[in-house]
């Protein structure tokens, strides 16, 4: 079956499969602006939710490479914050690997809807990582630092704050200058939803009660933080993989470490998930999900292939990605 036949008719977003510089499949579907019938294109900028954790991880590892930071450095020594009940001995490594136990402002093990965060704390107040502090700073530790792996959004908010503390510039400015621009990702960045540049897709949520779609502007942070929220394009994501695996962002040993198992479960490195192939080998990938947003980008080192799927209607990119990979493996 051809890849085009696997794509649902109601899919909105972009799908791309490349091997090196060769495009094997690339299509844009649906609308970037539903009301005005503006279509998605290959170069549309999409929200990517937690995809930003990979960018933050690269930024942190760059500071490690330059000797400005250590993986065993603790938040108590790095941050000028009253941590209250949060363990000051939490390390940078534990934040990168979701093993810190730091209180999670959006604990995905017990919360289903990200939009629920803004019932009592308006989302328009979140324009920096520091703006999220009231959502977790007064909470107790979830478990002792280093005890186990549990996906944690707060950990990467704190990593964003560490980048700012060490470099003296906003984390998104640092990532622009040290990750996006060196990788040639000129259509990527962290933008405020009420100040979007040209070419950005709206993200849409379906309302079954009214049988219509509405945008997610009241459902997510107005501007992305260390936990996620970058806007990017499919070609820019492919440039990211090329720059990362080509040694243009990190030393080879740090890149290998980032894309190797760092937790007992073997499923996570630094800012990236790991998928074991049936015949052996590991494929690093990163992903994101927010109201109206779904994202997946996977790199196969053996094949030299990158598969990226982004949807601005929250379509099931994981099932579609699995179907495409099953076809590619057959």
Which domain range does residue 314 map to? 3-329
Q: What is the pLDDT of residue 279?
A: 81
Report strand pairing: 38-39 vs 46-47.
Answer: unpaired
Cα distance between residue 94 and residue 196, in whole Å: 34
3-state SS of the chain? CCHHHHCCCCCCEEEEEEECCEEEEEEEECEEECCCCEECCCCCEEECHHHHHHHHHHHHHHHHHCCCCCCCCEHHHHCCCCCCCCCCCCEHHHHHCCCCCCCCCCCCCCCCCHHHHHCCCCHHHCCCHHHHHHHCCCCCCCCCCCCCCCCCHHHHHHHHHHHHHHHCCCHHHHHHHHHHCCCCCCCCECCCCCCCCCCECCCEEEECCCCEEEECCCCCCCCCECCECCEECHHHHHHHHHHHHCCCCCCHHHHHHHCCCCCCCCCECCCCEEEECCCCCEEEEEEEEECCEEEEEEEECCCCEEEEEEECCCCCHHHHHHHHHHHHHC
Tell me the average pLDDT across 9-30.
97
Quote the pLDDT of residue 108. 75
Can you tell me the mean pLDDT for 269-283?
93
Place of tokens 């009253």: 82
Asked if residue 86 lies in contact with residue 103, where contact means CB atoms within 8 angstroms, the answer is yes
Averaged pLDDT of the chain: 95
Residue 72 maps to which CATH number? 3.40.710.10
Query: Could you read off the pLDDT of 145-181 as tens digits, one per residue?
Result: 999 999 999 999 999 999 999 999 999 999 999 999 9
Please report the pLDDT score of residue 110 as a whole number: 72
- Count the domains in the chain: 1
* Average pLDDT of the residues in 23-51: 98
What pLDDT digit, counting tens, does each position of 233-259 carry? 999 999 999 999 999 999 999 999 999
272/238 Cα distance (integer angstroms): 15
Q: Taking 80 as the threshold, does the pLDDT of residue 1 lie above it? A: no
For residues 163 and 233, give the distance between their C-alpha atoms in angstroms, rounded to a whole number. Answer: 24
Query: pLDDT tens-digit profile of 297-317?
Result: 999 999 999 999 999 999 999
């Amino acid at each position: 079956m051809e890849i085009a036949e696997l794509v649902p008719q109601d899919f909105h977003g972009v799908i791309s499969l490349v091997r090196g510089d060769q495009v094997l499949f690339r299509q844009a579907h649906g609308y970037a602006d539903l009301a005005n019938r503006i279509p998605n294109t290959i170069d549309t900028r999409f929200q990517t939710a937690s995809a930003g954790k990979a960018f933050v991880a690269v930024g942190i590892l760059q500071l490690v490479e330059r000797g400005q930071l250590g993986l065993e450095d603790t938040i108590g020594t790095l941050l000028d914050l009253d941590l209250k009940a949060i363990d000051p001995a939490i390390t940078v490594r534990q934040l990168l690997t979701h093993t810190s136990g730091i209180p999670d402002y959006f604990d995905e093990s017990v919360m289903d809807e990200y939009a629920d965060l803004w019932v009592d704390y308006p989302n328009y107040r979140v324009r920096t990582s520091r703006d999220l502090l009231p959502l977790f700073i007064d909470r107790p530790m979830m478990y002792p630092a280093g005890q186990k792996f549990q996906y944690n959004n707060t950990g990467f908010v704190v990593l964003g704050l560490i980048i700012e503390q060490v470099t003296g510039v906003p984390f998104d400015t640092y990532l622009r200058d040290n990750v996006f621009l060196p990788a040639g990702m000129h259509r990527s960045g962290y933008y405020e939803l009420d100040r979007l540049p040209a070419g950005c897709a709206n993200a849409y949520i379906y309302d079954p009660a009214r049988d219509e779609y509405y945008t997610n502007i009241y459902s997510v942070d107005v501007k992305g933080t260390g936990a996620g929220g970058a806007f990017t394009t499919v070609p820019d994501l492919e440039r990211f993989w090329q720059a990362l695996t080509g040694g243009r962002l990190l030393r080879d040993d740090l890149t290998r470490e980032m894309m190797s198992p760092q937790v007992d479960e073997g499923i996570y490195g630094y800012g990236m998930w790991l998928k074991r192939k049936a015949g052996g080998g590991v494929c690093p990938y990163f992903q994101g999900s927010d109201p109206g947003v779904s994202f997946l980008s996977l790199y196969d080192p053996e094949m030299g292939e990158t598969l990226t799927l982004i949807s601005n209607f929250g379509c099931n990119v994981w099932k579609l990605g699995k179907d495409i990979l099953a076809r590619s493996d057959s």
